[in-house]
Chains A and B, each alone.
Chain A
Amino acid sequence: MCITCGCGTDEAHIVKDGHNHPENHHTHHHGHTHSHSHGHDHHHVQDRLLHLEKDVLHENALLAERNRGYFDAKEIVAINLVSSPGSGKTMLLECTLKDLKEDLSFCVIEGDQQTSLDADRIKATGTNAVQINTGKGCHLDAHMVLHAVQELKPKENSVLFIENVGNLVCPSMFDLGENQRVVIMSVTEGDDKPIKYPDMFHTSGVCIINKTDLLPYVPFDMDKAIENARKINPELQFFPVSCTTGEGLGEWYNWLKKQVRHLQTA
């Protein structure tokens, strides 16, 4: 039973050190029938209209704000990494964690439908990580992140990467309480990706264009891709990188360090 958030229906599991902790504290009791122990008879049924005007994602928004407050208080930069599967999120993390381990303190939440393969890759870099398995779920939500953070206990003044489930549609709707949302696309996916999946580019602040070492082999127009993304989000900041050759990673690292400094001086 979850005492912190009174949570409901998740199938998500948090995996740390290879152990599975089922997170489904209580489930929906569908088909509930209203029973009375007192001896009255019911003869009439009366209709009543309840005006709710309630946001469907209200609960997620509250938990996201709770996460955000925790991150602010501990001066943690929380970054939600979103992309389609195979764009190189995990490899970008591996490079970042290895190259900046002397400069910054990191921990990682990995989101995948199945397996702890990604968390294992992150742990191999010497970084503390937990894996959330969403089961059939296609995105992380604020509630899963809340529990993963309780498990992970990130240090003050650190960077928390949250690698979302590889999916360019669903995760865009769910605020996790992050400070920054970073969308990653790769040159093998085509320069029309932003206008095909506009919501993710609309809600992100930074766009990393990965696998630039493959540019000579694919019909990808960098200017066109940036132009397409800017049609959706004129404020988007771009970092073309190659995690294979290391090209462009320096600028991404500088941006990251700036986020930590910004939080400390804010």
Chain B
Amino acid sequence: MHELSIVLNIIDIAEKEAKKADAASISAIELSIGKLSTIEPVAFDFAWKHGVKNSMLEHARRITNYIDGKGRCNKCSTEFLMEALYQPCPQCGDYFSEIIEGKELQIKSLRIEEKIET
């Protein structure tokens, strides 16, 4: 259940950035999560629901982009869709490949609301 500590990390970063920008609130957050990043979407949703309570993200809309895993074979350089770490290269069958996409765990952006003093 490391998803909860990931959610707490996200809250921490988002609140720091929002305060730095002098935001009154956060209305939306966009995340990129690679499908090979060990984040389980169901566990993540559950951790989010409970983790964000009483934080600046409690009422923020969450947009989560799950990114497909992509491997490149170290033997024949074929690039292929990687659904699991032990997937062989579809071209030559070798297991020695490099992950080039799918390990992401990023906050892409925050939409904040600023108060304008008049």
Interface residues of A in 196-239 (CB under 8 A from B): 198-199, 202, 228, 230-232, 234
A48 / chain B contacts, CB cutoff of 8 Å: 21, 23, 111-114
Interface size class of B (residues with CB under 8 A): 35 or more
Task: State whether B85 touches A44 (Cβ < 8 A).
Answer: no
Cross-interface CB contact of A232 among B1, B54, B56, B86, cutoff 8 Å: B86
Task: State whether A45 touches B116 (Cβ < 8 A).
Answer: yes
Task: State whether A195 touches B12 (Cβ < 8 A).
Answer: no
Task: State whether A53 touches B21 (Cβ < 8 A).
Answer: no
Interface size class of A (residues with CB under 8 A): 35 or more
User: Complex formed: what's the CA distance from A239 to B107 in Å?
Assistant: 40
Task: State whether B116 touches A137 (Cβ < 8 A).
Answer: no
Task: State whether A50 touches B109 (Cβ < 8 A).
Answer: yes
| A202 to chain B: closest residue by CB | B85
User: Complex formed: what's the CA distance from A55 to B13 in Å?
Assistant: 9
| A235 to chain B: closest residue by CB | B96
B49 within 8 A of A: no
Task: State whether A46 touches B108 (Cβ < 8 A).
Answer: no
A152 within 8 A of B: no
B105 within 8 A of A: yes
Interface residues of B in 53-108 (CB under 8 A from A): 53-56, 84-86, 88, 95-96, 105-108
A19 within 8 A of B: no
| A58 to chain B: closest residue by CB | B13
Cross-interface CB contact of A57 among B1, B9, B84, B116, cutoff 8 Å: B9
Q: Given A32-B56, A44-B115, A198-B86, are A49 and B12 also a contact pair (CB < 8 Å)?
A: no
A195 / chain B contacts, CB cutoff of 8 Å: 86
A170 within 8 A of B: yes
Q: Given A49-B109, A54-B107, A57-B9, are A231 and B115 also a contact pair (CB < 8 Å)?
A: no
Q: Given A43-B118, A45-B113, A45-B116, are A30 and B55 also a contact pair (CB < 8 Å)?
A: yes
Task: State whether B114 touches A45 (Cβ < 8 A).
Answer: yes
| A34 to chain B: closest residue by CB | B24
B8 / chain A contacts, CB cutoff of 8 Å: 9, 28
Q: Given A48-B21, A195-B86, are A55 and B116 also a contact pair (CB < 8 Å)?
A: no
Task: State whether A28 touches B11 (Cβ < 8 A).
Answer: yes
A-B contacts besides A59-B12, A139-B5, A174-B2, 7 pairs, CB < 8 Å: A45-B115, A50-B21, A50-B112, A53-B106, A58-B13, A138-B5, A199-B85
Residues on B facing A (Cβ under 8 Å)? 1-2, 5-6, 8-13, 15, 17-19, 21-24, 27, 37-38, 53-56, 84-86, 88, 95-96, 105-118
